[in-house]
Amino acid sequence: MVKIISTVLISSAIGLESWNIYALLTNSNIPSSLNPIFWIERFAITCHFIEAIVAAFYAPSRKKMPIRYATYTFFVGTIGLLELFDRDDASTSSTS
């Protein structure tokens, strides 16, 4: 359920930022009351992007495709990283 909500919210944030960029390019006015929402969505997108970079870096060592896992992690966030590292921890603890 969290994965679905996260995917919907990140997709909405991308849409919101696209609308903001379109408004800037066409010199349209956006209500100033939306500025805090824009900052929150930019922070969320930045965090998810950093998590996606980490996932892409570590995915090959976990026998995953970097681009696919980075995209997955970008949309689901920290859950993607937890799944990536949990699989490694489970396989390491079972061999010890």
Q: Which two tokens stand for residue 23?
A: 């408004």
69, pLDDT greater than 80: yes
What 3 state SS string does 10-77 have? HHHHHHHHHHHHHHHHCCCCCCHHHHHHHHHHHHHHHHHHHHHHHHHHHHHHHCCCHHHHHHHHHHHC
Q: Does 92 or 60 have the greater pLDDT score?
A: 60
Q: In this predicted structure, what is the pLDDT of residue 20? A: 92
Grade residue 90 by pLDDT with cuts at 50, 70 and 90.
low
6, pLDDT greater than 70: yes
Q: What is the pTM of this model?
A: 0.80
Q: What region, left, alpha or beta, does residue 28 occupy, with left being phi > 0 and alpha being psi -120 to 50 degrees?
A: beta
Q: Does 43 or 86 have the greater pLDDT score?
A: 43
Q: In this predicted structure, what is the pLDDT of residue 94? A: 52
